[in-house]
Amino acid sequence: MMAETTARPVRAQGGEPVLQCRDLNVHFQTGEGRISAVNGVSFDLHRGQCLGIVGESGSGKSQTFLAILGLLASNGHATGSVVLNGEEILNTSRRKLNAIRGEKMAIVFQDSITGLTPHKRIGEQLCEVLTQHRGMSRSEARSRALEMLELVRIPEPARRFRMYPHEFSGGMRQRVMIAQALLCQPDVLIADEPTTALDVTVQAQILKLFKGLADHTDTALVMITHDLGVVAGLCDEVMVMYAGRAIEQASVDSLFYDPRHPYTRGLLACMPRADRDSESLTAIPGQPPDLSELPPGCAYAPRCPQAFDRCLTERPSLDLAVEGHLKACHLENAP
Ligand SMILES: Nc1ncnc2c1ncn2[C@@H]1O[C@H](COP(=O)(O)OP(=O)(O)OP(=O)(O)O)[C@@H](O)[C@H]1O
Ligand SMILES: [Mg+2]
């Protein structure tokens, strides 16, 4: 007998979650119809926790967190509930969201250049955050900003303070973005594919930096990535998304050693591994469904090698498979 647990946290931890998301839905109105980009996503995030979000391109990873931050495009609309430190923040006023984004939640994107103002010196940009959001004096702001640049391992921070964004390499710019995101010591740091644009060596350095932050600060980290290797190295919990839905949620160990959803198994089979040559690497055959016409059953059924009749007609809910491990799949009840 499986318990209905759609609104359950992934793992019960002590204390209130810093961020609690319940039944989040995101729709976009377009000329071609209504796109259901995020469909009933729920999770809890605790202090010091690192939550990985994985799934193919278009599965709703970014829109989930853009909705939480109040940053959806103007044709988008979010419903559900997002509680930050006990306070409902979904669709709250612009003023409140601005304050939240400066102080309580920060996001780092893949493309660091768009997050920085090109004609302003790095130091000026960092200090502004502190003088505006924290009311610090210029000299206080300067010493805190320098401290942050040191924390993200930028060599010679005092000299770099006077430089412009284009004078930095991609990896260094990404470090500046992370420093900027951390300036106000946010409760939640969201990293959306933060290393995708960087070469492999720099990627490893930046991921090490995140690992250090996750281990040594109270900030809860959300790591959005295509790369299950990143999740394995960094995260405690993971949510796998498909067609805007969470289809599996578990601790990283449980997900890697005991995956319950055929889609997750497919993703794991596509992971590069030292003991496999790269030629045996395959993508999961087929395409995700059209988000303006989601099928009535499981959205993965048309691609699933184990699908049976019920999968095409009835959408599986996210249920408890084993303690702390949720999956949305009918398979255990297959005929
Ligand atoms: N303004 C918009 N209007 C219509 N559809 C949109 C809009 N913004 C996003 N979408 C759609 O929402 C869906 C989810 O997008 P999202 O950006 O969350 O994907 P993702 O999982 O982050 O993918 P990726 O890994 O490529 O970043 C996509 O199909 C996307 O095309
Ligand atoms: Mg994205």
Tell me the pLDDT tens digit for each residue of 84-96: 999 999 999 999 9
Ligand 1 pocket check for 37: Cβ under 6 Å: yes
Q: Is the pTM of this model over 0.85?
A: yes
DSSP annotation of 335 reads: -
CA distances from 211 to 107, 150, 152, 221, 240 (A): 16, 16, 11, 10, 20
Residue 179, ligand 1, Cβ within 6 A = no
Dist CA 57 CA 241 (whole Å): 10
Q: Is 289 in the pocket of ligand 1 (CB under 6 A)?
A: no
- Which residue, by CA, sits nearest to atom 30 of ligand 1? 58
* pLDDT of 3 over the 70 cut: no
CA–centroid distance, 173 to ligand 2, in Å, is 20
- Give the separation between CA 13 and CA 60, rounded to whole angstroms: 26
- Predicted pLDDT at 10: 44
Residue 7: pLDDT above 50?
no
Q: Tell me which of 257 and 226 has the higher pLDDT.
A: 257
Q: How would you classify the pairing of strands 50-54 and 220-225? A: parallel
Of 129, 165, 160, 164, nearest in space to 144 by CA: 129
In sequence order, what E strands does the chain have?
A: 19-30, 33-45, 50-54, 76-84, 87-88, 105-108, 188-192, 220-225, 237-242, 245-251, 319-322, 325-327
Rounded Cα distance between 209 and 290, Å, is 37
Residue identifier of the C-alpha nearest atom 22 of ligand 1? 62
Burial group, residue 95, by CB count within 10 angstroms (0-12, 13-18, 19+): exposed
Q: In the chain, what are the domain boundaries?
A: 16-104+190-271+295-335, 114-185
- Please state the atom number of ligand 1 nearest to the C-alpha of residue 38: 14
For residue 333, the model assigns a pLDDT of 72
Query: Class of 16-104+190-271+295-335 per CATH?
Result: alpha beta
